[in-house]
Amino acid sequence: MPLRPAVFVPLILAGLGLVFLGVAPWLLFNESSQRDLERGRSLASASAATLPAHAAGETVLLEGRLAAGNRAVFRDFVACQRDRYLGEETSGVNKGKERWQPLETITPPLQVETGDGTVAIVNQGYELRGSPHRWWDKADRTNLTGREGERAHGFFAGDQVMVEGRIVEVPSANGTASTRALEAQVLSAGDRAAYLAYLRGGVLATRIIGGVFLGVGALLVFVGGWFLRKGLRAGKGPRPAR
């Protein structure tokens, strides 16, 4: 016997609420963001002059500016992410919201000036955080599927940055000695304080989202249960008179 809408819809609401309630504790008590913050606080600060005092393989925070000699990889960006415009959402709660598709993330080796020297970032594939510059194509070009467009966000030469990276040994140009460099894991805008503030923000955001999930889940379970009980009572109907 098929379920009536008065029963089926409340069951869906209550079930969705239980899903939210199931996720909420994981967000509220998940320690990954807190661990990232504690790890960030524990990392030593380094510069070009102090890098040799640290052990190879150690992860440090390097504060400096992207050297003027870094080559631009897209427009004025020396590291960036590019996105393509896909139009606007046509339905649902996000109707009218712009849709963007990642095109590529360009993270080449870079040179960072620390005030007492220059440190090389020798790898690619590091994470970009807090990109200080943005660009987007405002041209009203159109194609068969709608308006075209592109945007990018990232870093310019001269930007103040914080690099989280692992110290590595790299051979010198003549091959007779080696020098210290970094394999970057994160390239972030600003100084050490800004980087730690970003990590603290991740902890707070996780807790807030967990609280929202908890509240929404409890509300959906309550509303679904209330309408379910009401629907079941209505389904019984009046008792026939004897």
**Using one digit for the tens of pLDDT, what is the confidence trace for 87-112?**
887 777 677 788 888 999 999 999 99
Decide: pTM greater than 0.85.
Answer: no
Ramachandran region, residue 113 (left: φ > 0; alpha: ψ -120 to 50; beta: rest): beta
Question: What pLDDT, on a 0 to 100 scale, did the predictor assign at position 46?
Answer: 92
Of 141 and 194, more confident? 194
* Residue 81: pLDDT over 90: yes
Question: What pLDDT, on a 0 to 100 scale, did the predictor assign at position 127?
Answer: 93
Read off the pLDDT band of 65 (50, 70, 90).
very high
Question: What pLDDT, on a 0 to 100 scale, did the predictor assign at position 145?
Answer: 47
What's the longest Cα–Cα distance across the chain? 107
Distance CA 64, CA 159 (A): 8
* Residue 190: pLDDT over 80: yes
Distance CA 62, CA 111 (A): 12
Question: What pLDDT, on a 0 to 100 scale, did the predictor assign at position 189?
Answer: 93
> If you average pLDDT over residues 168-192, what whole number do you get?
85
* Contact in structure between 127 and 143 (CB atoms under 8 Å): no
* Residue 9: pLDDT over 70: yes
> If you average pLDDT over residues 219-241, what whole number do you get?
69
What average pLDDT is seen over the chain? 82
* Residue 144: pLDDT over 80: no
Angle at which helices 5-29 and 192-236 cross, to 10°: 160
